[in-house]
Amino acid sequence: LIQWFPPLHSNSGELVRVVTATCTTAMGCRSCIDVLIIVLQSYFLWSCIAIERHYCHQPLSADSTGILKTTYEYAIENNRLFASRPDYMAMATCISAYGLGTLYALVLLAFTFKWNWIRLIAILLVGAKAYALGFYHLMEFTSDTPPENMLAYWGPEFPYILSLVLLLARTLPGPPFQKPKSKED
């Protein structure tokens, strides 16, 4: 895609502007993007608490209940490396559950209450999550048990990628929330 849009290749600031304008136009308003960011961060935080925290401390099994059983069944079918739980995967999941989970909570609160100080933290979260996703997918696709069903594998991963794009679009150009203009302005 970059080769088809040469102006975007040479100017990453322009790319962010285009993505922001496109998202704003497509969704009708910036607050719609913010709502989507809030929903995604809520989903990630829920996943950290309901799934990753448990996986961090013990393997999922056929005896698991509720969402943990569903996750186990999904992993056996579509993500066998996750199901096999090598030590590095358990450690990475612990870092995600407790480290990234804390950042998801901060971003969730900041976008709910429109706190501009979140800008740097959100950009750092994007970098950390992009690195984590890159490492995770590298391990998945170079393992002895790479995913076979790409749609089933990438389905749960897409929200993370979407959130990275949305967070960059809202925070990279400047503070994400405009202060109300006074009557003197």
SS3 17: helix
163 and 41 Cβ atoms separated by less than 8 Å:
yes
pLDDT in tens, the chain (185 residues): 333 334 434 444 555 555 555 555 544 456 889 999 999 999 999 999 999 999 999 999 999 999 999 999 999 999 999 999 999 999 999 999 999 999 999 999 999 999 999 999 999 999 999 999 999 999 999 999 999 999 999 999 999 999 999 999 999 989 998 776 666 65
Q: What is the largest CA-CA distance in the chain?
A: 65
pLDDT of residue 75: 95
Specify the DSSP element, H or E, that contains 63. Answer: none
pLDDT of residue 30: 65
- The angle formed by the CA atoms of residues 27, 30 and 34, to the nearest 5 degrees, is 95
pLDDT of residue 6: 40
* Helices 12-27 and 150-171: angle between axes, nearest 10 degrees: 100
pLDDT of residue 3: 38
